[in-house]
Amino acid sequence: MKLQGNIRDWYLAATEDEIGYEIKKDATFQDLFDALQNFKKVEEILGGDSDVRDTCFEELARLLGINTDLVFTQWRLAAKAKNNPFLAR
C-alpha cells in the first residue's frame, strides 16, 4: 500500500483545486488512516471542506483496495465516538 504519499501534494495535483492548501502540509494517507482507526478528527488533517474530505476518502479507499463506503462508515463511527464520553479522546 502506498499510504506514505503526501495528501496535499496528491490532492493539488489531482484536482488543481486551491482549497487543497488547507490540508495539513505534511499529512500522509497513513496519517488519515490512523486518524480514522483511532477515532480522531480528520478535519485536523484535511481541513473542513466536505469535497476535500470526500475526495481524499475515495483515494484512501483506492489505496487500501476497499470500497469507499467502508471509509465513510469508519468516519461516521468516529463521529459517534466523539460524542460518547467512554470513547471520546
Dihedral, CA of residue 23, residue 27, residue 31 and residue 35, to nearest 10: -30
Sign of CA dihedral 34, 45, 74, 2: negative
10-residue stretch averages of pLDDT, the chain, 89 residues long: 91 96 97 94 93 98 97 90 59
CA pair distance 77, 68, nearest whole angstrom: 14
CA pair distance 33, 36, nearest whole angstrom: 5
Model confidence, pTM: 0.88
